[in-house]
Each structure stands twice: as structure tokens, then as C-alpha cells.
Structure 1
Amino acid sequence: MKAHDLAAAQWTRATGAGVDPHEYRRVTAGLTSVDDWGPSFVRTAHAYLTRADQAGSSLSAGEHLLMAARWFHLATLAPRAQDPRAAAGADHALSRALTVLEPGARRVSGDGFTGWLRGPSDAPATVVLVPGLDSAKEEFLDLAAALLARGLAVFAMDGPGQGVLAGTTTLQPDYEQVVGRVIDALGVACIGLVGLSLGGYFAARTAALEPRVSAVATVSGPFRLDWEELPAPVRDMMARRTGSAEAARDFVRHVDLAALAPRITAPLLVVDGEEDVIPGVTNGEPLARLAPHGSYLSVPHGDHLLGNARTDWLPHLADHITRALTGPRA
């Protein structure tokens, strides 16, 4: 893959994560090969750290730190060798930002997870944001903001093989065990789940097997994966995040929601983009159809993670989760 092809492929994901589209074009225009991706994005992140140190107010400093976290995270999307300091940089920048901007935010960590709990202490419910194969808690800040604006608490997490934990742990299919430990650590009775990309599988699986889940939504989540049909970059990333090609094959064999979907009793919203067509990936329509209380939102022009169509799904998803967790039926 050439550098400009990689930049084009990640365009809507990067801008959907909140980076300035003009700056993204400037940074990626200077790439001479895909090997420049990580170092260039890390340099951009460090420039925001410098701006934060020189800022004239704590608000400006916090905003620069949030942007640094985004760029550090995007640096981890390099298709080949990755700088492990990028994930650590994203984690540290987000920690500094929330310390400045939201003194009430609380870091919560446990066996196989770490993340930030944000929002009012008396929130009526808490939503856990579940990242995917190569995403992390720093990527979905706009989704967290939409839920926080509706009065909910939000726990954005990294699980095994994700984000800052990717260097020391590997992906595990039985993610419901991780979320169970998260719920215990948060000490809440009412939770919702939003899973993005592979996190959609994790969220749906957890909703089927963890009775404390009261609402769930998936965004670009797979219903089923077929190893032989998956593109080589996806297989390579899967192998890195699981530890080996053999472990990745075994992991993929678990990704099939046909038997679990009918067991999801919580209100479920499945969001897909019709332009999200990845070989070896069955999208979420069967999940919505088989779940007892499933609904399906398909955006014709949406791509993977629908970074090119935020207004078509994000407010709807935030409202769905809020109604399910706080409405009369809840």
C-alpha cells in the first residue's frame, strides 16, 4: 500500500475521530512511504503537547491535550511496525486533559481493562464504550460527549489487546468476562454498551451473556467473520493483536453471533454503513433481525465507523441509549 492510499483509506476515520481535516491533509501530504505514518503522527501529537504547555488557560491546555491524544492514537494505525510509545502517549495525553478539564473524572483499572469514568456522580446510568480491533478509548471522544450531554456517565475503556494494553495483553473473545469486571469495579446497577467495529461483536456478545446490560448499540460491528476471506491487512492486525496467526484464526472462529443474538433481551440498535463492504465480514443486519428487541439503522453513504456520516447516526444512537436506560421501560 502506498502512503497516499493509506491516507485516503483512513481519511473519514481520522476526521470522524475529531482531527482537523486540513491538518490531516497537510500531515499526510508529507508522507513518502507508509513507514512515515507513525513518526509523522507522533510529531504532530508532540506539537500539541507543546501548545498545551504554552497555553494561556487551562481550557486551552486541555483542548490541546485532547487533540494530542487523538494524533497519538492515529499513529497506532500504521500498517506495519508501530511505535509502542504512541499508545502510551495517547493514554497519557488523555489523562492530562481530563485532569485539567474534568477534575471529577476518575481512572478505573482492573484485570484486563483500564479507562476513564466521566460524568455526574448521580447519573441515572452509565454507558461503557467498547473499542475494536485497532481502536482505543481516545478515538471516540465525540460519542462520549454526546452521551455526557444527555446526562449519562460514560466509561471509555481499553480491554485486552486494545489501546494502552495492546503491548502487554492480547484480544480475547469472551469479552463479557472483562465487562463483568468493569461493572463490578464501577459499582453501578444500570449500564449500557456501545461497541464500535469489532467492539460491536464484543458488546453484542456481552449483552447476550451478561444480565446487567440494560441497553446496547453496535456501530459497524461484525455479525460473523471468515478468516479465509479477510483482507491481508486485517489478518495481519488480528495476528498482532492476538499474538500469532494461529491465535488469530482461532479468535475469528469465535466471531459468530447467530446463536447469541436471540439471547439479547435488552433494546439493541445496530448501525451499519452500506459502503462498509469488507471481504470476510458479515455486517449487522442479521444481528438486528434475530435479536428480540433489535432495530437496524443502515446509512446508504456510510463507510466503516461512519466517520463520513456522523449526523446520520450519532444523535440517534445517543438518544436510543438514553431512552433505553432512563425511560419508563428502564
Structure 2
Amino acid sequence: MSFGMSFVDDADQLPAFVEVNRPRAHGAGLDLFEYDRVTAPLTSLHDWPAAFAAAGRRYASAAERAAAEGRTVTAGTAYRDAARWFHVAGLLPHPDRAAAARLAAEADAAMRRALALLEPTAERVEGEGFAGWLRRPARVGQAAPAGEVPVVVVVPGMDSGKEEFHAVAEALLARGVAVLAIDGPGQGVLAATSAPEPDYQRVVGRALDAIAHHDGLDPARVAVIGLSLGGYYAATAAAREPRLRAAVTVSGPYRLDWEHLVPFVTETLAQRCGGPEAARAFAARVDLTALAPAITLPLLVVEGGEDRIPGVTNATTLASEAPNAELLLVPHGNHLLGTALPDWLPTTADWLASRLA
């Protein structure tokens, strides 16, 4: 039996999965009315990937028509929406992992086409254990001198990818900060060929190496923001990658307790790690107790007061243990705070921009 079968086969999980992912879909940029239309006919979680992929392909077809007619902005926007839908199509620990890999590839390809039309200066950056997009802020007024622009690396989480956090990237770009949004090991387009890497500072380090000599960037002003499990990854990088100047964790775990994790989490980790025992060993590594005192750079810990996942100790503990940490707690925020974007995202983008000024 496939690792993910028990969760996907449980018919009782469907309503809760649709409901809990609604704010996440909003945060990822999906239209919620369309989300409701896509999910309303579902009778099984097995049908989730195909339903969301169909929505993605509708956007991709619309983009192709617009591009053929020379409507560049419309085409680029539709490709970007297609990338979002393809990404959300792959959230489940679905037993058809080949199909999941195809969805990740479709999301990646749609984002490539979107950036080619909307941001021709965007560059593909990839290396050992990572692949992503480097996007630069639009110039306002006179061109800034080379080396002036700081960079933030955006790190996704357990079942996420670089196509999900458009709102984070756009907020940083609007504040004059370049963005490198990546998939790392076990994430996004790399999920089919690699397992999650608990020592994520190595991934961030290789990404920083890759952009060190890109024109218009300041390698002395770099930071990282990680979301969900990416918050743990960002914290490990903050403790061990000396080139980082600041870090942010959003809904990141402080510690995982395998015995109490919900099936969605354990089965997703089992698929991505290569089996239940590998997943259990990975979860045991997710513990910031020893690392917290070593995070001496400025750290912002963003948490939602409604973020409660069994088996996950939230990173509010990290805010009290890291020497230069601040806590931004939004009482009504859920996991990833898709229910409270105005209450954390502008403040967080301002915080990062000011630390890199």
C-alpha cells in the first residue's frame, strides 16, 4: 500500500481538508469563489489533483490565447494563476506520485512563462539541491548603482513550493528588495528526485553562492524568510549561515513530536522522505532547542494564535530563546496566517527591508 493511501482514502477527511486549505488558497492567490466552485463537486480526496489541475489548464489555455493575440499582461497574469492552481493541485499525499511530479513541473513551467512575459529580467537560478527564480524590484526614477539591491531567499515548507508565496515576493519587491524564491530538497519541482534536508543551511549557502556574482545585488545584504516547515529551515540557516543578516520564520515549528502528528503530516513526510522510518528520523531532527541560542542575528517570529497542529510545538518558544528575536503574534491568524494577511505581511516586509537597509 502507498504511504498516502490511508489519508486520501478516508472520506471523512474531505470536508476538513477543503475547509482548512481555504485560507491557504487565499494566501497563495487563488480566487476563493473559484476555489469553492472547484471543491464543491468533490466526493473524494482522490479527485482533488485532477480538479485543481483542470483549473490550472483553463488558465494556461487562456494565457496561450492572450499571448497569441499580443495581450502580454493578460497572458502573463493567466500563466501566473495557472502556476498557483497547479501547485495547490499537488498538496495532498496522493498515492500517484508520478502525477504529483507532473503537476510540480506544470507549475514550474507556467511560472517560467509568466515571468518571461511580466518580468523579463527574472533569472532562473539552480544548483545542487535547489531551483528557483531571482526577481529584481522595478527601478523607480534613476537607476540604482550596481550592488545596491538586497536579497531575501524565500523558503517553502513541507508540501509547498516556490509557486505558493507570491504575496510575500510581491511585498518585498515593492520595497526595493530582490527575491530568490526556491524549491529545496523534497520541495516543489525537486520533490520527486530528492528527500527533505534538515541541515537546510547547506541549501541556503549554495543558493547564496549562486547569486553572489549576479549584477545589481548586494551579497552583504541578504536575509531569509521561511514559511511553515520552511520556518525551521530558515532558523537553521540563521544559526549556521554567517552571510545572512536577518531572518523571519512564519508559522514555523520549534519541534515535532512524531507520535502526535496528524496523518496528513506523517504521510506527506513519509512520501517525501522515502518511507515512514526515514520520515520519523527527519521529524526527530526538527528541534530548535539547541540551535535557538546560536541565532544571534535579528530574527522575526511570526505566529498565528489559531495555529494549532497536533504534534507541532510552535516557534513562539524560539522568540523567547533566540537572543535578538522579536515575536509578531496575530491572535486570529491560522497556520500560514492566510486569514490575516494585512496583519502580518506588510509589517514583515517592512521589517526585512529595514534590516537590510
TM-score (structure 1 length as normaliser): 0.97
1:64 pairs with 2:78:
yes
Question: What's 1:37 paired with?
Answer: 48
Question: What's 1:315 paired with?
Answer: 346
Give the CA deviation at 1:2: 4.0
Give the CA deviation at 1:61: 0.2
Give the CA deviation at 1:274: 1.0
Distance in structure 2 (CA, Å) of the matches to 1:195 and 1:157:
11
Question: What's 1:186 paired with?
Answer: 211
Distance in structure 2 (CA, Å) of the matches to 1:256 and 1:162:
20
For 2:162, the aligned partner's letter is K
1:11 pairs with 2:22:
yes
Pick from 167, 171, 176 the counterpart of residue 142 of structure 1: 167
For 2:37, the aligned partner's letter is R
Distance in structure 2 (CA, Å) of the matches to 1:124 and 1:6:
40
For 2:45, the aligned partner's letter is V
Question: What's 2:134 paired with?
Answer: 117
Give the CA deviation at 1:79: 3.6
Question: What's 1:74 paired with?
Answer: 88
CA contact (8 A) 1:191 1:215 kept: yes
CA contact (8 A) 1:4 1:29 kept: no
CA contact (8 A) 1:34 1:79 kept: no
For 1:153, the aligned partner's letter is A
> Matches of residues 221-300 of structure 1 in structure 2 within 5 Å?
221-300=252-331
Distance in structure 2 (CA, Å) of the matches to 1:36 and 1:208:
41
Question: What's 1:159 paired with?
Answer: 184
For 2:110, the aligned partner's letter is A
- Secondary structure in structure 1 of the residue aligned to 2:220: coil
Give the CA deviation at 1:241: 1.1
For 1:268, the aligned partner's letter is L
For 2:117, the aligned partner's letter is V
Give the CA deviation at 1:80: 2.3
Give the CA deviation at 1:124: 2.5
- Secondary structure in structure 1 of the residue aligned to 2:196: coil
Q: How many residues align structurally? A: 326
Distance in structure 2 (CA, Å) of the matches to 1:108 and 1:162:
15
For 1:70, the aligned partner's letter is R
Give the CA deviation at 1:265: 1.5
- Secondary structure in structure 2 of the residue aligned to 1:189: strand
- Secondary structure in structure 1 of the residue aligned to 2:124: strand
Distance in structure 2 (CA, Å) of the matches to 1:27 and 1:249:
34
Give the CA deviation at 1:123: 4.6
Q: Which moved more, 1:47-56 or 1:301-310?
A: 47-56
Q: Which moved more, 1:151-160 or 1:183-192?
A: 183-192
Pick from 110, 129, 140 the counterpart of residue 93 of structure 1: 110
CA contact (8 A) 2:248 2:301 kept: yes
Distance in structure 2 (CA, Å) of the matches to 1:69 and 1:77:
13
Give the CA deviation at 1:297: 1.0
Give the CA deviation at 1:32: 1.6
For 1:136, the aligned partner's letter is G
Could you list the runs of 5+ residues in structure 2 that have no partner in the other structure? 1-11, 138-145, 213-218
Give the CA deviation at 1:30: 1.5
Give the CA deviation at 1:232: 1.4
Once superposed, which parts of structure 1, at least 4 consecutive aligned residues long, lie more than 2 Å away?
1-5, 78-82, 120-124
For 1:257, the aligned partner's letter is L
Give the CA deviation at 1:262: 1.0
CA RMSD of aligned residues (A): 1.1
Give the CA deviation at 1:78: 2.3
Question: What's 1:212 paired with?
Answer: 243
For 2:286, the aligned partner's letter is V
Distance in structure 1 (CA, Å) of the matches to 2:14 and 2:273:
26
Question: What's 1:197 paired with?
Answer: 228
CA contact (8 A) 2:92 2:268 kept: no
1:76-122 alpha-carbon deviations (Å, 9 max, x no partner): 01242242211010000001100111010000000000000001475
TM-score (structure 2 length as normaliser): 0.90
CA contact (8 A) 2:93 2:271 kept: no
Give the CA deviation at 1:189: 2.8
CA contact (8 A) 1:172 1:242 kept: no
- Secondary structure in structure 2 of the residue aligned to 1:10: helix
CA contact (8 A) 1:42 1:72 kept: yes
For 1:78, the aligned partner's letter is L
Identity %: 54
Pick from 125, 150, 154 the counterpart of residue 129 of structure 1: 154
CA contact (8 A) 2:76 2:118 kept: yes
